[in-house]
Each structure stands twice: as C-alpha cells, then as structure tokens.
Structure 1
C-alpha cells in the first residue's frame, strides 16, 4: 500500500525517522561548513603561494644592475629565448606598443652539446589575446585553450615593453580537487556511519516506547464492550521510571488501565445483577401470568350471565396476559442463553424449515407476497431445530410487521463451502441508516418509517442474534429504500455443547431501534 501523503511531509514520519533525519541533516550542514572552510582556506593559501612565486618569476633580477648575458641597463635584452631560471611550463610574452613581440610557453630542450636548455613554444592568437588583456600590476586567472588555467601578471620593462608572466595552476587545481574529493568522501562516509549509528542508538533508546505502544495495541484489541474483561496487560515496570519521558508515559498508561479495569469490573457486576434480575423476574412471572390467563378464560366460560362490558374486559385481560407471557418467555430465553444453557445439536433440514415457517407467515400475513428460492437438494446443518425455527419466524414476523401490505418477501437458501446462508429479503421502505447498527440490541425500538400494524417487544431480533451466535453463526442486515436483506450464516458442523458465555451474548439495552 502506498502512502504518498505520509512521506511527502516530515510530519507523517515516525519519530525515529525524524530524529535520524535531523541528525543526518545537522551532520551534513556541519560537514559542508567544515569542508567549505577548509577548501577556501587551502585555496587562498595555495593561490597566495602562486602569487608570491609569480612575483619572483616576473621580476627575477630585482636589485641587480645587469641582465643575464652581460646586458646592462643600456643594452637591449634578448627576448627570443627564455632567460635563466624561468620555470618550464610557465608563459612569458612581450608586447611592444600593444603588439605581440616575442615569447611563448617555456619548454625544456637539449642544446647541441646535450645540455638542458629552454625555448619558447608559440601560442595561438586567441591565447595571446587573453594574455594581452591582463592589466599591469594585477594578478588574475586566465584560461588558455589547450593549456589550462594560469595565474598571470603584467609588468613594464625598462624599455617600455610590457611583459606578461603566467604560471600554470594545474598542480594547484589538482590539489584542490583531490582535497575536495577526499573531504567530500570523508563527509559522506561520516554521514553514513553516523546515520547507521544514529538509527541503532535511536532504536535502542526508543525501544521502551515501542513496548508501551505494544501494550496499548494489545489492550485496544480486547473486546471491552460487554462481559467480564480482565485487563491483565500492563507496561513493564522497567518502562515506568518517572525520571524519563517514556517512563512517564508508561506509568500514566498503567494508571489509566487500572482505572479502566475497575470501571469494567463495576460495569460487569451491574450487568450480572441485571441479568440475574431478568432471569428471576421472568421465571417468577410465568406462574401469575398463567393464573391470570386461566382465570380470565374460566370467567368467560362460566354459565352465569355476564354483561358485554365485563366480557370485553375479560377478553382484553386475557389478550394482554398472552402478550406479557410472550415477553416473559423471550426474556427467559435470553437469560438462559446468557447463562450458557446447552443447545441441541441435531441434523436440521433448512429447506423444510423455511417451507414450514413461510407457510406459517403466509397464514399470519396473507396480504403480503411470500416467495421461496430454495436449492434442489436439501441443505442440512447441525443445531437446535426449535431455536432455528424461532430465528426464521422472528425474521419473517419482523418483515411482516414493519412493511406495508402487498410487500414482497423472499426467503432464499444458498450454500457455501463450509456454511449455509438464509436470506430474508423484502421490498419495504427500508431501515434508517442510523438505526441499523442498533438493530440487534435488546429492547431496541424506533419510530421507523415502515408501517407498524402491530406492536413489538424489541426482543425479536436480539433473540435472532443470540441464537445464531450460539450456533457459531453470523447475522447481518443490509438495507436501503426498496430492499432490506437479513442474512443468517450457519456452519454445517455441529455447534459446541453449550452456547458461549453470557458476556459474549449480552448487549446493553438501546433507546433506538426499528
């Protein structure tokens, strides 16, 4: 995966990368500053030495009254050949009245007797023009074609001629180039070694911070929303030294985990009290509700005449008693699932289960359009047939209750390599997006946009979720206006002997729902 925005700005770099980058940047600036200073100092020193040598070469007879060869001040000097002591490779040219007179590049030769001697090598017109431009008394650097760089100066001869003397800078430039290369290489090597060493040191230094981050990551992966949670993860004591910045972070994280752990324990204790209360209350209410229904039914069957008003009241009492009985049964079922009661694990034919539940739903809602989409072969899963029947019945009742008459409801069964999937699809108005995350929570209610011809306890879909989860399956919903799909995935293999613990099933009551 590419992260162009992250690497475009240093603000997105990891801390160790930024520290190493800062170290390398500082060392680079320091190396450039030191190298440049050394180069400039050496450059000035070498050029000063060349200039001093140039002074000596341009005026070799300073303080003498005669010229070499016996020429005195009144005699004309011989400019056809280099005078004694001129350095081979240097250049001497003479200009008389602004025109080139004699001179050239000094070369070493042998005379007729085999002794070393010097002579001038002719220069090109372009090189002579470059040398002619040198001002008297100035020292300047000139570049001659095919000859390289020279340091040149011009002096006035006693006879009025202008002599330009130039010394080659090849040795100086070669020395400066070698120094620059050596310095640059040394700086690069130093930066590389410092970067590697800095990365190693920074990694070792920030290792406690990595351990703190790893502890926080492990805690973040725990499921803290329900059930009993043991926050056993803590930052090692060696990383909680308050004298260091990382130790302060580690100590603060441990303190926070202690507070969170205490809060989770208090929440779990309260949660278990609520579950126990629901289970006890549901169990205790079954007997009085059964008695109320029995007395109401007995009163209606009495031979003694009763008024129409009393008969209506008794009918309503019996109806509400039945409704409360259903609510209590749902609560008791959820309490039993929370307690981890064993489920049956018998072969269940999902195709026949779908046919039976759809037939019941058609009888309860004849004005809906019910459809089946079943495979040709039976689909067998292992589980509790009665509970799975209740799952499908709740989903169909949900579709019938919350969609208008004439809505098409399709129940399809598909197969996967390791599981079977039941889809309940309706063409109703859909579920609002903000309610979908809470749709399987207990007592979830909402004034939905779907029509509601009958009331709802808010427990039907929570029972679906609890039973499917007990079968190690999954239930999900996808909804938009005109299409709502509830999908129930059930593995083929037999479920565990008991459902998961209560803390994996219980969800806090919600204020909003379908």
Structure 2
C-alpha cells in the first residue's frame, strides 16, 4: 500500500486588474484577427502563385512536346524528325531542357519505352545537372499524372510542381518547375504581415491602456472614496461621514455612475445610523457622568456617617456593628465604581489629559510597593533599567494603569504566585510588562478582556473586589496617551504589555 505524498501548495497567483483584463482582451482579439488575416492572405497568395506556376508549367510542357517532335507543322512533318534538330531521332531530357524559351530551374524526365533520361537546369549556373536515383524514382511514380501535382524531391531541389505528358511519337515525358519562388514570396508576405501585426499590436496595446485608464478614472475615484470611508473609525467616537462620490461620477446612465450613486446612498444611510448611534451614546455617557457625579456626595455621606457611628464609642449590638462595617465597606467599593465610571465617561468625551514628562521608574517603584502591601502573600519582582525612563503622559492616570494591572495580577492568581514587572525602552516607546505565573486567561474571555464589566467569574462573586472596569480603564487611558496595550496568556504564564510614547528629545 503506497503512502500518498502531500501535495505542495504553490503560490497563489494574484488576480488581474480590470484594466489589465480589458487591455489584454483587446490585444488578444486583435492578435487573433491579425493572425487569421495573415494566414488567409498567405494561403490565397500561395494558391494564386501556384496557379500562375501551373500555367507556366503547361506552357513549358507544350514547348517540351514540340522539342520532342510532338507538335506537327503545316505539312504534317514532326519537328523532331527534321534534320536541323540537334537531337534528331534522340528524345532525351536534354532535348527539353535545351529547347527554346524554357524557364530557369526546369526539370525534365523522358521515357522512350526503353530508357529514362532526366535532368534539371541549375538556377545559378544555368547548366544541366543530373538527378539522383531517389529523385528519379519519385518522378517515375508520377509519369501518368496528367494534371499538375506537387512532389518533394529533397536535397537542394525541394518541392516541385510537375506534370506528365505524352508526345505524338508516344514518348512519355514529365516536366516540373520549382516551388521555391512561391515559398519565398509566401514567406516574405508572412514576415511582412507578422511585423506589421506586431507593431500594430504594440501601438494598440499602448492606446488601449491609455483609453482604459482614462475610462476607469471615475471607478478609481469611487474606489478612493470607499477607501477613505473604510479607514474611518466608525466603531467608536463621533465620526463625521461627509465624504461622498463626486456628482460627476453618479450619472445613472453609466455603469460607474450607478455604482457611485449606490455608494452615496449607502453612505447616507450609514451617516444617519452613525448619527443615531452617536446621539444614543452621548445620552448614555451624559447619564453615566451625571449619575456618577451625583452619587459621589451621598456615597461620601453614607461612608462618613457609618464610620462616625462605628467610632462614636457607644455600645452597639454585634449585629449592628457588623451591619455598619458592611455599609462602610460597600460604600467604599461603590465609591470606587463611581469614580471608575466617571473616569471612563470623561475619557469617552475626549477630554484632554495633562501631558507632561512622567518618570516611569519611580512610578513603578511606588506601584510595586503598594502592591506588596496589598498582597504580601505574592512575590513581587521589578526589573528597572540603569537610567530613568520618562514618558509623556498624565501621571495620576498612568499610576492608575499600573495599579490596575498589578491588582489584576494579585486578584486573579493564587497566594504564593510570582509577579514580574519589567520596564524597557524600545525605539521611541517605553514598554512596561506585567507577567505572572497564574492559571491564565480563559480563551472565551480573551476577545472581551478590555471591554467594560468583562469578568472571568460568571457568578460575579464580589469577594475579589473586581468591578470589571479595571482593564477597560487601562485600555482607555493607554489609548488616550496614543499608546498600545496587549496581552498574551497561556496556562502558567500571563503577560500584559503597555507601550507609551517616550519624552521627545
């Protein structure tokens, strides 16, 4: 049983553009027409030249018959029987070839019933040359051919047009004329047609490419409009979709015009949908901002009164003390949630950050110290460069980014886990990586990790203190700093990577 070898995948051929297909189609059709015209012209010319050669061959046959005594005079005497004939009584091929007014290159074969004589006139020297035995045998096979036929004698002679006749004395003879002139003329015509066609194809290809490019300019403008719209960030923020196909390219009487008009109608619908989405998002953001702002005061009051009551020194039942502690802790948690929502609402509104040089080295030292105090049961390691690295940003917001990443590593890893924080400078960016050896991120959560209220625990257990907004704030703050955040996770290793622009030199 033979094992089938895997098939090698070749390179995928890139598709041809419409312009190339149109130009090649025009040039291909013209090439087919030119080749057809050339072939027909050569065939017709060759047939005409062969017919003319057959007339010359018939005349040569008549003169050959006279030279052999096949044509009588007015007295009934035969020319071959006259004493003045140099070949009197000797019908040979030389009698034909040496006859008057015979064309150059004439070939002759004479059979007088007992012997065969052959020869041909050399075009260059004019001398009578003998034929080979193979050539004589080829001609002998056509001595009964009364109509002109083409035979190939090989060697230097090539193709001949031959015709057999019988003289009045009963002598069989065959004469032939070379087809080399016909072939040369036909080849010359084919060469001329080929050269003219080739030049014509080049000229037509250049003109067709120019005409097609000119005709496809409206389609290119439509494509450029669609490309510009496709590059807009339609999935977020307020987008002004004002780009449209020019009015000159929306004529419904043309194919490109119909495409342009359809694209404009689609852009109008998309613009209306974006305006509706932006209005809805604006209302939601305004509601979140207003609600968060209004909730800060009552939450502060709840926290203050609960803490004041707990510390008043009055003797309260244990249940009341537990309830006051829960009220205080939940108010603290809810205050943090409100602050996160308010920050996201402000970032969504596009408020400018206070950009200034921030020493990331000291920021990481402080953040790791805080993380160690919050999670002493974790191993915290920080790797810093010898020289300080400064990035352009808002220090409180960047501090919140690092704090959220470290808190995320602490909350979602078991006690005893190791967290490594590394700061490096790569090109014009400062890169911060936070790597832990925890269980990793589930595959179902990776695509929505930086979305708001994305949580790994579907039961939304609050014992970890996670609100589902930490990584969303990280992504929003980093994006506001024109940076990038990414994550790589596998069982036993999870790494968050934050890239921020360095301070310009």
TM-score scaled by length of structure 1: 0.86
Match of 1:499 in 2: none
Classify 1:200/1:215 alpha carbon distance in 2 versus 1 (closer, same or farther; 3 Å). same
Match of 2:121 in 1: 106
Counterparts of residues 217-228 of structure 1 (less than 5 Å): 217-228=227-238
Match of 1:505 in 2: none
- Check conservation: 1:369, 1:409, Cα contact below 8 A: yes
1:122 equivalent in alignment to 2:130: yes
1:374 equivalent in alignment to 2:412: no
Match of 2:89 in 1: 76
Deviations 1:95-118 (A, max 9, x none): 344742x341136999xxxxxxx8
- Check conservation: 2:72, 2:79, Cα contact below 8 A: no
Match of 1:89 in 2: 105
1:20 equivalent in alignment to 2:33: no
* Offset, 1:69: 5.5
Counterparts of residues 282-297 of structure 1 (less than 5 Å): 282-297=292-307
Structure with higher RCO (Cα < 8 A, 6+ apart): 1
Match of 1:442 in 2: 452
- Check conservation: 1:430, 1:479, Cα contact below 8 A: yes
Counterparts of residues 118-267 of structure 1 (less than 5 Å): 120-136=128-144, 137-138=146-147, 139-267=149-277
* Offset, 1:133: 2.4
Match of 1:512 in 2: none
Secondary structure of 1:438 counterpart: coil
Match of 1:386 in 2: 396
d(CA) in 1 for partners of 2:403, 2:124: 118
Classify 1:425/1:123 alpha carbon distance in 2 versus 1 (closer, same or farther; 3 Å). same
Secondary structure of 1:463 counterpart: helix
Match of 1:501 in 2: none
Match of 1:502 in 2: none
1:310 equivalent in alignment to 2:326: no
1:5 equivalent in alignment to 2:12: yes
- Check conservation: 2:143, 2:173, Cα contact below 8 A: no
d(CA) in 2 for partners of 1:17, 1:267: 42
d(CA) in 1 for partners of 2:228, 2:350: 27
* Offset, 1:395: 0.3
Match of 1:478 in 2: 488
Gaps of 5+ in 2: 1-9
d(CA) in 1 for partners of 2:200, 2:410: 78
Moved more, 426-435 or 18-27: 426-435
Classify 1:339/1:210 alpha carbon distance in 2 versus 1 (closer, same or farther; 3 Å). closer
d(CA) in 2 for partners of 1:343, 1:384: 6
d(CA) in 2 for partners of 1:484, 1:252: 48
Match of 1:55 in 2: 58
- Check conservation: 2:391, 2:503, Cα contact below 8 A: yes
- Check conservation: 1:89, 1:105, Cα contact below 8 A: yes
* Offset, 1:377: 2.9
Match of 1:275 in 2: 285
Secondary structure of 1:435 counterpart: helix
d(CA) in 1 for partners of 2:277, 2:403: 33
1:491 equivalent in alignment to 2:491: no
- Check conservation: 1:403, 1:452, Cα contact below 8 A: no
TM-score scaled by length of structure 2: 0.87
- Check conservation: 1:403, 1:451, Cα contact below 8 A: no
| Structure 1 stretches of at least 4 aligned residues deviating more than 6 Å after TM superposition | 448-452
Classify 1:381/1:89 alpha carbon distance in 2 versus 1 (closer, same or farther; 3 Å). closer
d(CA) in 1 for partners of 2:458, 2:78: 120
* Offset, 1:255: 0.7
Match of 1:498 in 2: none
* Offset, 1:208: 0.7
Secondary structure of 1:6 counterpart: coil
* Offset, 1:288: 0.8
Moved more, 317-326 or 185-194: 185-194
Deviations 1:331-361 (A, max 9, x none): 1222333345554445433222222221221
- Check conservation: 1:153, 1:166, Cα contact below 8 A: yes
Secondary structure of 2:495 counterpart: strand
Gaps of 5+ in 1: 111-117, 496-514
- Check conservation: 1:86, 1:106, Cα contact below 8 A: no
- Check conservation: 1:401, 1:453, Cα contact below 8 A: no
Question: How many residues are paired up?
Answer: 480
Match of 1:510 in 2: none
d(CA) in 2 for partners of 1:393, 1:195: 66
Match of 1:466 in 2: 476
Secondary structure of 2:340 counterpart: helix
Moved more, 39-48 or 282-291: 39-48
Aligned-residue CA RMSD (Å): 2.9
- Check conservation: 2:71, 2:78, Cα contact below 8 A: no
* Offset, 1:248: 0.2
